[in-house]
Amino acid sequence: MSRTARRPRLTAATADPHWLYENAVQNPEAEVEFIDRAFAAAYGRLPRDLREDFCGTLNLGCCWIRRRPDNTALGVDLDGPTLDWGREHNVLPLGAAAARATLVQDDVRRVSGPPADVLAATNFSWWCFHGRAELKGYLENCRRSLRDEGMLMLDIFGGSEAQVLQFEERDCEGYTYVWDQDAFNPITHEYVCRIHFRFPDGSELTDAFVYRWRLWSIPEVRDLLLEAGFSRVDVYWEGADEDGEPSGDFQLDDAGDNSPAWVAYITAFR
């Protein structure tokens, strides 16, 4: 019997939005590999202490802890119930290693210690900062929070399709993930995106997650990182497989390609 067959049928009334989100959106194993590779390329050794800003359920941080026996993770997020969910479903199952995880409920701009080797802000969460001064203030705090040999990792997406109002549906095991690019203001780049989940019985979890972002570009954030004092900023661009689909393989690049929809990692070194 397959795992899907044993699991009760998902419906909007029974499904757990955090589980649905983690399962559909996150790939922490690939991200911790990327962090090791980018950090080692800069400093010739592996990092140990990770801070995950906008950590949500600390899925990345817990994967980091599982990766090596001395790794630690500090997660910072404003939302208490989300942190509680992460504590129960991700941190406690680590067993004794849970002692290497710390969750802090606060604004990411107000936390600057303990010092980290790597600070990661993923799934475009840093787009919650709309103004230039606001984002620069956040990036300055990231730099302050890092050791002398320290790396900030941000992800970013773009391309012409990012500005198109559209739904993108993807089948997951037992449900459908719906990415809804709902509103875009070409003057301010204010950008509203929503996540919905649909179920085989026809029910839907509408607006399970809603993001009110600014759509930032790579040159804008690169300039701000350098103004915030980072000494070097690199861009890792995702390659394509034989069918032209995103390969999940990110390599250092300074030209990219003019894909209508791209995802990239930005690394900045203290």
Ligand X SMILES: C[S@@+](CC[C@H](N)C(=O)[O-])C[C@H]1O[C@@H](n2cnc3c(N)ncnc32)[C@H](O)[C@@H]1O
Contact set with ligand X (CB under 6 A): 26, 54-56, 76-79, 82, 107-108, 122-123, 125, 128, 211
Q: Which is nearer to ligand X, 80 or 260 (CB)?
A: 80
Q: How many other β-carbons are positioned within 10 Å of the β-carbon of residue 201?
A: 12
Q: Which is nearer to ligand X, 11 or 206 (CB)?
A: 206
Q: Which is nearer to ligand X, 76 or 154 (CB)?
A: 76
CB of 1 to ligand X, least distance (A): 31
Sign of torsion over alpha carbons 46, 50, 54, 60: positive
CB of 266 to ligand X, least distance (A): 15
CB of 120 to ligand X, least distance (A): 8
Q: Under a CB-based contact definition with an 8 Å cutoff, are residues 49 and 35 in contact?
A: no
Q: Which is nearer to ligand X, 18 or 198 (CB)?
A: 18
CB of 60 to ligand X, least distance (A): 6
CB of 218 to ligand X, least distance (A): 19
Q: Under a CB-based contact definition with an 8 Å cutoff, are residues 110 and 142 in contact?
A: no
Give the span between the Cα atoms of 258 and 168, in whole angstroms. 20
Q: Which is nearer to ligand X, 114 or 200 (CB)?
A: 114
Q: Which is nearer to ligand X, 28 or 47 (CB)?
A: 28
What is the DSSP code string of the chain? Answer: --HHHHSPPP-TTT--HHHHHHHHH--HHHHHHHHHHHHHHHHSS---EEEEET-TTTHHHHHHHHHSTT-EEEEEES-HHHHHHHIIIIIGGGGGGGGGEEEEES-GGG---S-EEEEEE-TTGGGG--SHHHHHHHHHHHHHHEEEEEEEEEEEEESGGGGS-EEEEEEETTEEEEEEEEEE-TTT-EEEEEEEEE-TTS-EEEEEEEEEEE---HHHHHHHHHHTT-SEEEEEEEEE-TTSSEEEEEEE-SS----SSEEEEEEEE-
CB of 56 to ligand X, least distance (A): 3
Q: Which is nearer to ligand X, 43 or 94 (CB)?
A: 94
CB of 26 to ligand X, least distance (A): 6
CB of 262 to ligand X, least distance (A): 18
